[in-house]
Amino acid sequence: MNPSTLIPPPAWVRRTEQYDTQALQALDSAHFIHPFTDHGDLATRGARVITRAEGVYIWDSEGEKLLDAMSGLWCVNVGYGRKELADAAYQQMMTLPFYNSFFQTTNVPAVKLAARLASLAPEVDGRSFQHVFYSSSGSESNDSNVRMVRRYWDLLGQPQRKVIISRLNAYHGSTMAGASLGGMSGMHAQGDLPIPKITHIGQPYFFENGLPGESEAEFGLRAAGWLEAKIVEVGADKVAAFIAEPIQGAGGVIIPPATYWPEIQRIVDKYNILLVSDEVICAFGRLGHWFAYEKFGYKPDLVTFAKAVTSGYIPLGGVMVGDRVAKVLIEKGGEFNHGYTYSGHPVACAVGLANLAIMEREQLPQRVRDDIGPYLARGFEKIAEHALVGVAETCGFTAGLVLVKNKKRRERFAEALGVGMMCRGHCFQNGLIMRAVGDRMIIAPPLTMTHDDIDEMLRLIRQALDLTQQELHQKGLI
Ligand SMILES: *Cc1c(COP(=O)(O)O)cnc(C)c1O
């Protein structure tokens, strides 16, 4: 194999996509272990080689153009091809590409970004977020959360408070602690997880768990009640924290009923346990606010962020540390024996600052709240009428729908049928990236989409639904 065929041609030639796809796929299969991938499958079919992107579109090595309704992986909130972000990285690399933040040193972008994030996080009931702990990903940030939560209770002289309660089908990352906090049984099965002192309650998924005759509001209260039941079961004096995503992203865009979060807040207050809001997906405009706890009106003590803080242009994550925890960790704590080489990485923080500047200038959170969010919601009301769709719902600029066998009876397809993957296949073949989570199809598009982009996306979704319906008919499955 001639390696020169793998070197991408200059930008002006690249428009014609002169890549040796087969050679790249062979090398990929031979050397690259992918995350969350069945490699037997990958070897036979070959990976799709993504070569460039602009705006809301990506292109592969064969020149196929795809509308990216997933923002990469919930990251690229400002869209692709933002020169400002590349310039910020370049400038910072030329000025100071790296220095650590250990041992009483700091750097300018890390300081500025921390102050910027603190100013963006809304204060609730006199509690603010003045401090930021940096990592390079959502997973690491949640590992840091486990460390901070346990250290907090140790410092307060309650070392028996170690149990962290999370939810089934939650996603909190893929490190040992991240995967343990998450509630994905497939992940737990492959690593002797969860690690000790992490336990799970059910998710607030009305379509799946609502009882006949139960209203959504009633279900929201009942689902929140599972937290109280678990606290009592574990022993209230042993529970350290509850962690949850404002809406579950990777779990399938599960949007809790309006009654859920206020009741969760009541319960964590009653038992005095810490509340961790994992906003790796939901922050930075996705739900129409800088931070999602503001939308739902609850009061977290720690807020995990990553992904869209840099719009995915460079890895960066962290934790917004609220006053309650910061006071104890900083004022009482002495040295916290925890941190990463790349905590406060100057280039990542410089890109973060430039990214937030774009979001602010283009008022992306407000745009989601007042314009494109409602526009998407109206589009999804029509999608909900499709015969194959059991329920379709949006929240801010993310959405999910359930594929059903019988709309009237809300009858679902057998899991083994892989109807979501079937639909996803039709999306891919017709130029749309939409993700399948079981029988739920989900999107989280860039927040820069125009109404025309949204119309085109809705057209492609409807087309994928029609083609899936046809295939199911032909196979005699509906
Ligand atoms: C993606 C995600 C994570 C993990 O982030 P990584 O950067 O992949 O480690 C954690 N929590 C939530 C809610 C996520 O969506």
State mean pLDDT over 228-250. Answer: 98
Q: Would you place residue 7 in the very low, low, confident or very high pLDDT band (cuts 50, 70, 90)?
A: low
Run of H or E residues at 144:
helix 138-155
Ligand 1 nearest atom to the CA of residue 281, by list position: 15
pLDDT band at 18 (very low <50, low <70, confident <90, very high): confident
The pLDDT score that the predictor gives to residue 9 is: 55
Mean pLDDT of 454-473: 98
Ligand 1: distance of its center to the CA of 302 in Å? 15
To test ligand 1's pocket by mutation, which of 34, 71, 171 has the most ligand atoms within 8 angstroms of CB? 171
Binned at pLDDT 50, 70 and 90, residue 125 comes out as: confident
Q: How far is the CA of 282 from the centre of ligand 1 (A)?
A: 11
Closest protein CA for atom 5 of ligand 1: 138
Nearest CA owner, ligand 1 atom 6: 138
pLDDT of residue 277: 98
**Exposure string over 367-393, b if 16+ CB within 10 A, otherwise e:** bbbeebbebbbebbeebeebebbbebb
Point out the ligand 1 atom lying closest to the alpha carbon of residue 248.
13
pLDDT digits (tens, 9 = 90+) for 346-356: 999 999 999 99
Residue 331: predicted pLDDT: 86
Beta bridge partner(s), residue 445? none
- Predicted confidence at residue 473, as pLDDT, reads 96
pLDDT score of 1 = 45
How does pLDDT run across 23-34, given as a tens digit for each residue? 999 999 999 999
| Average confidence score pLDDT of the chain | 95
Q: Is 392 helix (H, G, I), strand (E, B) or coil?
A: strand
3-state SS class at 92? helix
Distance from C-alpha of 227 to C-alpha of 225, rounded to nearest angstrom: 5
- For a mutational test of ligand 1's pocket, the pick from 71, 139, 142, 187, i.e. the residue with the most ligand atoms closer than 8 A to its C-beta, is 139
Tell me how far the alpha carbon of residue 280 lies from the centroid of ligand 1, in angstroms. 6
Which atom of ligand 1 has the smallest separation from the CA of 245? Answer: 13
Q: Is the pLDDT of residue 222 over 90?
A: yes
Residue whose CB lies within 8 A of the most ligand 1 atoms, among 280, 286, 304, 398, for a mutation test: 280
Q: Which two tokens stand for residue 231?
A: 């606290």
**Closest C-alpha to ligand 1, atom 11:** 172
The answer on pLDDT for 51 being more than 80 is yes
User: What are the structural domains of the chain?
Assistant: 48-78+364-474 (3.90.1150.10), 89-361 (3.40.640.10)
Measure 340 CA to ligand 1 centroid, in angstroms.
17
Residues 6+ positions from 400 with CB-CB distance below 8 Å? 252, 253, 254, 255, 392, 393, 437, 440, 441, 442, 443
**What is the arithmetic mean of pLDDT over 432-460?**
98
Per residue in 381-429, pLDDT (tens digit) is: 999 999 999 999 999 999 999 999 999 999 999 999 999 999 999 999 9
CA of 266 to the centre of ligand 1 (A): 27
Instruction: Express each pLDDT in 171-191 by its tens digit.
Output: 999 999 999 999 999 999 998
Task: State percent of the chain over pLDDT 70.
Answer: 96
pLDDT over threshold 70, residue 370? yes
What is the distance in A from the centroid of ligand 1 to the CA of 139?
6
* Ligand 1: centre distance to CA 82 (Å): 23
Residue ranges around ligand 1 (CB below 6 Å): 74, 137-139, 171-173, 245, 249-250, 278, 280-281, 306, 317
Percent of the chain with pLDDT over 90: 93
Q: Which atom of ligand 1 is nearest to the CA of 170?
A: 13
Among the atoms of ligand 1, which is closest to the Cα of residue 73? 1
Mean pLDDT of 140-144: 98
Strands (E), 375-434: 389-395, 398-406, 411-412, 432-433
Tell me the CA–centroid distance for residue 181 and ligand 1, in Å. Answer: 11
Residue 132 has pLDDT above 60, yes or no: yes
